[in-house]
Amino acid sequence: MTETHPAAADGPRHDIRFDETSGAVTIGAGKVVESEFASVAIKLDQDGNSVRLRVEDLRTGRVRFLDALELESLVWLGEGHLTQLLDPSHERWRG
């Protein structure tokens, strides 16, 4: 018996574009990273004073820009702190 992922049953969720010159696949506002719990589009933003990573929550449309220091901090974040960030009851479910 084959199971169908619920998102796949709803059809395409993103506007997918193929860039044949670079071989990249661009989806909506950027490349999408997703799992059964989250779906985000990421791309580099060069409109500010320095290059930043633009991260968009595709479920809510909320956008966050992360600079190099913030990204490096995520890399060095201890497992306990990361676990706290992943708990949706901390901030995400509060609105």
Distance CA 7, CA 65 (A): 27
The secondary structure of the chain in percent helix, strand, coil, rounded to multiples of 5, reads 25, 30, 45
Per-residue confidence (pLDDT) for residue 60, from 0 to 100: 87
pTM of the model: 0.63
- Displacement of CA 83 from its chain's centroid (Å): 18
Q: Which of 19-23, 33-37, 50-54 has the lowest mean pLDDT?
A: 19-23
Q: How confident is the model at residue 13 (pLDDT cuts 50, 70, 90)?
A: low
Max distance between CA atoms of the chain, in angstroms, equals: 53
Mean pLDDT of 41-58: 90
* Digit-coded pLDDT (tens) for 60-93: 889 999 999 999 999 999 988 888 888 877 777 7
Output the six-digit token pair for 57.
Answer: 């929550």
18 Cβ partners below 8 Å, 6+ apart?
A: 24, 25, 26
Both tokens of 61, joined, read: 């449309």
pLDDT one-digit tens code per residue, 27-48:
555 788 998 888 999 999 888 8
What value, to the nearest 5°, has the Cα angle with vertex 33 and ends 88 and 2?
A: 95
Dihedral sign computed on CA atoms, order 38, 61, 18, 20: negative
